[in-house]
Structure 1
Amino acid sequence: MPPQTGSDGQNPGGSGSTNGPIVSDVLPKTQGINIFSSLTRDFEPISSRLNDASRNVTVLAPRNSAIQALPRKPWENPEDYGKFGEVEAYQGEEGQDRARKNLQRFVEAHLVPVSPWKEGEEAESLVGGKLRWTREGNKVFIEPGHIEVETIAEQVYNGEVWVLNGVINYA
């Protein structure tokens, strides 16, 4: 079980060195979430956080099927289409920058800088979304959205990887 964290998500007295695996070690090996796992490596602030043993995190990783079932791609934002039009929204360098920022927001919406995360405790994702989890019988759900947690796949020194059967609201 990972050590307790302060409200800043830091391990008290954490030096950054561990004797065991950390989130960045186990995330790519967790079955069924390779789309999300690969996205975490696309953004330096995210990959460095997951590589930092002194900063705890709960990763709420959507299953590949949940990402594939989205009505729009994670890098798309309906506001961009309204503002720039269907063709221009993601064209050129500025459009690619918008898509990249949207994709980073998608990933950060699934990272909670707290671990362990207690039932009913409200925590903020890295994009500021307020989340909590509840238990109903033998199932766990992330609120808001009533997103089922399929499993807590890994518990390592600096956090946990939770596999979700849905996607956290990232808009």
Structure 2
Amino acid sequence: MVPVTCGSITKASSILNQLDNNEMRSTGALTLLIGAISIYSVSAKYVQNPFMDNIGPVMPPAASDPSASTPPEGGSVILCDVLGRDRSINIFAGFTRDIEAISKRLSDGQQNTTVLAPLNSAITGLPRKPWESNEDYNRLGADAYEGKPGEDRAHANLRQFVEEHIVPESPWPEGAKMKTLGGTEVWWETKDGKRIVQPGNIEVTSVASKVANGQAWILKGARNYA
């Protein structure tokens, strides 16, 4: 079926305007009128959604459909099921899948975890990539991440970055000092009605998911990963 365009609406309107009262009484004119109205109705549908079938994803596709709604809390749904569903944190969600130990933890319904997931904008705004280290550059120069040794260094740095955003506790009470998987002590408090992760005064924009093995918190910034 050939799609009907906006031009069809104009044509239909022109036909209607050409009909005088006498023509409207005739059977042929009535048929023409019905046809014109049909053209208008079909055209309006296409105008309201002109290119929806051709729109691609704004961000790189996640493991699960990011447009799907977050499943209900609790039950058999676990963190690995929901992290990729929110497009605003799908960069960090991809990092968690790249680190085998983290991926296994988030897939384990018996290990409770609070994931501190920075917004995509927080990660892209960092002074260096999460897999880069000033120490590596100072010691090895611009080729610090070349070849297999460089890949190994980059992976180790990325793992450290992700581990600094994983708290092995959920629910995580306010004021309770916990150590991230990276070994840094963290806690959170309420300031002016907002949940703030310390140290660093990092605001939690929302708790994106509460599932059987923990919660995913969305952060405005990234934790110190130096």
TM-score (norm 2): 0.66
Q: Compare the two structures and name the one with the higher strand fraction.
A: 1
Deviations 1:2-58 (A, max 9, x none): xxxxxxxxxxxxxxxx84211111111123000000111111111000000000000
- Deviation of residue 138 (structure 1)? 1.5
Determine if contact 2:210/2:216 at 8 Å carries over to the other structure: yes
Taking the aligned partners of 2:87 and 2:113, their CA distance within structure 1 comes to 19
- Correspondence 1:137 to 2:192: yes
Preserved CA contact (<8 Å) 2:188 2:198: yes
Aligned match of 1:61:
117
Preserved CA contact (<8 Å) 2:77 2:212: yes
Equivalent position SS for 1:73:
coil
- Report the CA distance between 1:137 and its aligned residue: 2.1
Matches of 1:127 and 1:39 in 2, distance apart?
A: 15
Q: What number of residue pairs does the alignment pair up?
A: 153
Q: Secondary structure at the match of 1:167?
A: coil
Paired amino acid for 1:80:
D
For residues 192 and 141 of structure 2, the distance between their equivalents in structure 1, rounded to whole angstroms, comes to: 46
Per the alignment, residue 168 of structure 2 pairs with 113
Residues in 1 aligned to 2:192 and 2:116: alpha-carbon distance in whole angstroms: 20
**Runs ≥4 in structure 1, deviation > 6 angstroms?**
none
List aligned pairs for 1:16-55, cutoff 5 A: 19-55=75-111
Question: In the alignment, does 2:222 pair up with 1:167?
Answer: yes
2:156 is matched with which residue: 90, 96, 101? 101
Partner of residue 7, structure 1:
none
Q: Is the 8 A contact 2:75 2:211 kept in 1?
A: no
Aligned equivalents of 1:127, 1:33: Cα separation in 2: 20
Distance in 2 (alpha carbons) for counterparts of 1:163 and 1:90? 30
What is the DSSP-based 3-state SS (H/G/I as helix, E as strand, rest coil) of the residue aligned with 2:110? coil
Query: How does the TM-score come out when normalised to structure 1?
Result: 0.87
- Cα RMSD for the two superposed structures: 1.0
Structure 2 runs not aligned, ≥5 long: 1-73
